[in-house]
Amino acid sequence: MIALALAVSYIGMLVLCLAMDRHGRDVLGRVPGRGGRLAARLLGSALLAGALVLCFDRWGHAIGTTAWLGLVTVAGLVLILLLPFSVRAAGTGARMACLLAPLPVGAMAMGVFAG
């Protein structure tokens, strides 16, 4: 559940990030058009809102909001630390792989903690 909320926050931040000029160019190799950017922003915001709902479900409204801010912050920090690596990788596929790496790794780590 927490792993899911973190993953959703992370993908939300990633989508928002790729909708930005510099990061879109660096990772996808092109600046997204106006429509694409709008769609990405909507999708990213929806994912972050989804993470908030998951946090409400787990912690209730007051503590859930706090947890959500924390999760989004941590997701953003992970993304920031990975972006330079992805920028150095060659090819859009490799770049995306760099950026999506934390998801399986995180899931495995959560599995270890849970088991």
Q: What is the DSSP letter of 1?
A: -
* Owner of token pair 């993953």: 7
Nearest distance in Å: CB 26, other proteins: 8
Question: Which of 46, 57, 88, 111 is in the footprint of other proteins by CB under 8 A?
Answer: 88
- Of 27, 32, 29, give the one whose Cα is nearest residue 95: 27
Q: Is 77 in the site for other proteins (CB under 8 A)?
A: yes
Cα distances (Å, whole numbers) of residue 58 to 22, 62, 79: 36, 11, 24
Smaller CB distance to other proteins: residue 59 or 103? 59
Instruction: Give the SS3 label for residue 26.
Output: helix
Q: How far is CA 32 from CA 81, 82, 109, 114, in A?
A: 22, 21, 34, 40
For position 73 contacting other proteins by CB under 8 A, the verdict is yes
Nearer Cβ to other proteins, position 104 or 114? 114
Q: Does 30 bind other proteins (CB under 8 A)?
A: no
Per CB under 8 A, does 90 bind other proteins?
Answer: no
Q: Give contact residues for other proteins (rule: CB under 8 A).
A: 2, 13, 17, 20, 22-23, 59, 62-63, 66-67, 69-71, 73-74, 76-77, 79-81, 83-84, 87-88, 113
